[in-house]
Structure 1
Amino acid sequence: MFAVVKIAGQQFRVQEGDSLYVPHLSGKSGDTVEFSDVLLVDNNGGLTTGADVKTTVKAEILNDLIKGDKVIAFKMKRRKGFRKKHGHRTQYTQIKISSIA
């Protein structure tokens, strides 16, 4: 059994027991979160989509804050002496899917 869940504007294909990194969620390690925005459910070959889906996905937060790789945005105009360097690290949360019901 698997489901496609929308978390923070992104879609994830999840199964029970999966561990994945999602955009930062509020909460601490050990908290449980519930996702009700389920787009598709496969229950032993039977697909359910759209408004017929009455499923919620429950997950546990393993690590509340994980930083991604550093991304650098460097801007420069030649012969003008203009240089600008910006960077950021995207924040993620590691969750583990506990149940699809």
Structure 2
Amino acid sequence: MFAVVKIAGQQFRVQEGQSLYVPHLQSKSGDKVEFSEVLLVDNNGTLTTGADVKAVVKAEVVSDLVKGDTVIAFKMKRRKGFRKKHGHRTHYTKIKIESIA
């Protein structure tokens, strides 16, 4: 059984027991979270989509703040002495899917 759920504006395909990194959620480690915006559910070959979906995905926050890889934006104009270097690390939350009900 799997489901496609919308979390923080992004769609994820999830199964029970799966761990995944989602965009940062305002919650602490050990908190239980529910995602009610389920777009598709596959129950042993039976697909349910649209308004017919009545499922809720329950998950537990494993790690509340995980930093992604460094992304560097570097701009330079040759022979002009112009250089700009900006970088950032995207924040994620690691969750573990407990149930799809």
* Structure 2 partner of 1:77: 77
Q: Partners of 1:39 and 1:4 in 2: how far apart?
A: 5
Structure 2 unpaired stretches of 5+:
none
For 1:18-97, what aligned pairs fall within 5 Å after superposition?
18-97=18-97
Moved over 2 A (4+): none
Instruction: State the identity as a percent.
Output: 84
- Please tell me the root mean square deviation across aligned C-alpha atoms, in Å: 0.5
Structure 1 unpaired stretches of 5+:
none
Q: Partners of 1:49 and 1:60 in 2: how far apart?
A: 25
Post-superposition CA distance 1:31-62 (Å, at most 9, x none)? 01100110100011100001110111000000
SS in 2 for 1:95: strand
How far 1:64 sits from its partner (Å)? Answer: 0.2
Q: TM-score, normalised by structure 2?
A: 0.98
Q: Partners of 1:19 and 1:11 in 2: how far apart?
A: 15
Q: TM-score, normalised by structure 1?
A: 0.98
How far 1:81 sits from its partner (Å)? Answer: 0.6
